[in-house]
Chains A and B, each alone.
Chain A
Amino acid sequence: AQSVTQLDSQVPVFEEAPVELRCNYSSSVSVYLFWYVQYPNQGLQLLLKYLSGSTLVESINGFEAEFNKSQTSFHLRKPSVHISDTAEYFCAVSNQGGSEKLVFGKGTKLTVNP
C-alpha cells in the first residue's frame, strides 16, 4: 500500500519570500508523483508531475519539485511567492503501470500575506 505524508498542514509566508512544501511517500513499487493545487471552492488543478527522466520538474508559474528516490521525497518549492499562490496544495502518488488511483497527502494550506 502507498502513503503520502505532507509534513506541514499550514504554511504562512510573506509575499516575495521563498517557500518549500514538503512531501514524503511510501511505496513498495515504482510510482508517479504529482502536485495538485486547489483554490477555495474550486477543483483540483495539476501543478506538476514526475513520471520519469529528469528528477527536477517545473511548472509554468514558477513552482518546481525534485524527485529524490533515496529520500522518497517530492518537495515543492518556489523562490518568490505571490498572494495569488494562496491555496491548498496536495501531493499525490500513483503506481506506475497504468490506470492507477491517486493516493493523496492531507494537504498543505499555503497562505501568502502582504
Chain B
Amino acid sequence: AAGVIQSPRHLIKEKRETATLKCYPIPRHDTVYWYQQGPGQDPQFLISFYEKMQSDKGSIPDRFSAQQFSDYHSELNMSSLELGDSALYFCASSRILAGVYEQYFGPGTRLTVT
C-alpha cells in the first residue's frame, strides 16, 4: 500500500540558511499535518491543512511557513534557521471526509543545523 512520502530524508544546513521540506500524502487523503520531534522528545504539532486550506496551527515559529498545493502535496518552508531547529520533521496524512481519522506518518526528514 502507498505510504506518505517525505523528501529529502536528511538535510544539513547552516545557521541563517533556508530549508524546504516536502510531503506527498497517501493518495486520496485530504488532510496533511506537520510535526516536529526534537532529540529525545515527543512529536509536537506545527500546522495542518484540510483540502488545501490551513485548518490548525500549533507551536510553529513565524520563521516557518507551509502550504498545500492543488495536487495535495505540502511544503514546509523554514527560514533563518537556528541550531534549535535541528529535529526530525514528520508529515502525516488522513482522509477526514471518508472518516479515516487516524494519521499515517511518513519516515520523516532529519534536519541538522550547524
Using CB atoms and an 8 Å cutoff, list the residues of chain A in contact with chain B: 32, 34, 36, 42-46, 49, 51, 90, 94, 96, 98-107
Contact = CB atoms under 8 A, between A and B. Distances in A.
B42 A107 contact: yes
B69 interface: no
Given A44-B105, A51-B101, A99-B94, A105 B56 contact: no
Contact of A43 (B42, B55, B58, B105): B105
B42 A104 contact: yes
B88 to A, nearest CB: 8
A102 B43 contact: yes
A90 B43 contact: yes
Interface in B94-112: 94, 96, 101-108
Given A42-B107, A43-B90, A106-B42, A101 B33 contact: yes
Pairs of residues from A and B, 7 with the lowest C-beta to C-beta distance, nearest first? A101-B45, A104-B42, A44-B105, A43-B107, A99-B50, A99-B31, A99-B55
A46 B93 CA distance: 12
B104 A99 contact: no
A89 B96 CA distance: 25
Given A42-B107, A44-B90, A99-B48, A104 B102 contact: no
A8 B69 CA distance: 41
